[in-house]
């Protein structure tokens, strides 16, 4: 058989790890969306050239160690309190780009109060919300966003509304608040969705400089391990079950005038 000759020196690098993401092996399970979400956030930070001026807040959840990978100054908040921590940072360092990264249990269960009030005050921060419809870190219990009939370790026969409440569309709820400047729902299950999600995050950072309110990006994601699926299967399940209930797209976008009169 003919030997293949490599001539790397003739090739252009078209894609590499963003320098704002540290060269470390992540602890996430194979196929988990957290890794992709981390990457696009750090790509955005790098492309915008704001690494020196960005402060992140990690949640309690699978992404509790986000600060091990993201090469920016970061704080690790108590479960659910990331947006309060971000408020404290931003109020004292208003010239910095401040973002939180939170799961659905963190942001939409234990931290619902802080989430709503942070957005209602229109804090000039970016909130990135990873909705995987389950509690990953603690081993797959029901989340506020768990779908009806979805099985988790605490809804072993499927979630039933009369006993366990309904899945919470917190993003739709937040889009109603006057303090919200930009609210969108994205996903990371296909290359197209990843590109769109990254665009949304770039906007979320960029528009923070306008000081006009909170930017909120939900990312519908997966949890192959706790959903009990292979990665590819989980992305299909996401498409077929999550997206019909959590449709992708913008819920609140700034008008041209709002963006121009910065």
Partner 1 sequence: MGELRLMKGNEALAEAAIRAGMDAYFGYPITPQSEVLEYLTREAYKRTQCTILQAESEIASINMIYGASGAGARVMTSSSSPGISLMQEGISYIAGAELPCLLVNINRGGPGLGTIQPSQGDYFQSVKGGGHGDYRLIVLAPATVQEMADFVQDGWELAEKYRNPVMILSDGALGQMMEKVELREQIDRSKHVIPEWATTGKKKDRERNFITSLFIQPEEMEQVNLQLQAKYKTIVENEIRVQEVQTDDADFVIVAYGLSARIGRKVMELLRADGIKVGLIRPITLWPYPYETVSRAAERVKGFLSLELNAGQMVEDVRLAVNGRCPVEHYGRMGGIIPSPDEVADVIREMYSKIQ
104 binds, among ligand TPP, partner 1, none (CB under 5 to 8 A by kind): ligand TPP
Residues 108-127, interacting with partner 1 (CB under 8 A): 113-114, 117
Rounded Cα gap, residues 117 and 81, in angstroms: 11
Residues 85-104 within binding reach of ligand TPP (CB under 6 A): 103-104
Whichever of 63 and 71 has its CB closer to ligand TPP, that residue is 63
Give residues 162-181 in contact with partner 1 (rule: CB under 8 A). none
Can you tell me which residue has the tokens 């091990």? 68
132 contact choice in ligand TPP, partner 1, none (CB below 5 to 8 Å, kind-dependent):
ligand TPP
Within the chain, how many helices (H) and strands (E) appear? 12, 9
Q: Is 105 in the site for ligand TPP (CB under 6 A)?
A: yes
Q: Which of 41, 74, 119, 188 binds partner 1 (CB under 8 A)?
A: 74
In SS3 terms, 103-172 reads as EHHHHHHHCHHHHHHHHHHCCCCEEEEEECCEECCCCCEECCCCCCCCCECCECCCCCHHHHCCCCCHHH
**Interacting residues with partner 1 (CB under 8 A):** 51-55, 57, 64-65, 67, 70-78, 81, 84-89, 91-93, 96, 113-114, 117
């Amino acid at each position: 058989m003919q030997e293949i000759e490599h001539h790397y020196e003739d090739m252009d690098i078209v894609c590499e790890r963003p320098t704002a993401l540290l060269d470390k092996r992540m602890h996430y399970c194979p196929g988990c969306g957290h890794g992709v979400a981390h990457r696009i956030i750090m790509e955005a930070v790098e492309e915008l050239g704001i690494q020196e001026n960005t402060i992140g807040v990690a949640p309690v959840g699978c992404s509790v160690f986000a600060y091990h990978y993201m090469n920016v100054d970061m704080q690790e908040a108590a479960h659910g309190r990331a947006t309060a921590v971000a408020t404290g940072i931003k109020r004292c360092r208003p010239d910095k780009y401040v973002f939180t990264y939170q799961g659905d249990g963190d942001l939409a269960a234990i931290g619902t109060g802080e989430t709503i009030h942070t957005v209602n005050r229109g804090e000039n921060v970016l909130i990135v919300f990873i909705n995987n419809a389950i509690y990953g870190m603690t081993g797959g219990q029901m989340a506020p966003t768990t779908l009806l009939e979805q099985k988790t370790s605490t809804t072993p026969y499927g979630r039933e509304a009369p006993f366990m409440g309904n899945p919470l569309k917190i993003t739709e709820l937040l889009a109603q608040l006057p303090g919200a400047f930009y609210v969108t729902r994205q996903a990371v299950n296909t290359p197209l969705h990843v590109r769109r999600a990254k665009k949304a995050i770039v906007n979320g950072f960029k528009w923070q400089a306008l000081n006009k309110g909170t930017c909120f990006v939900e990312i519908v994601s997966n949890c192959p391990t706790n959903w009990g699926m292979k990665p590819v299967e989980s992305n299909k399940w996401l498409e077929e079950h999550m997206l019909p209930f959590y449709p992708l797209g913008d819920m609140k976008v700034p008008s041209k005038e709002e963006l121009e009169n910065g």
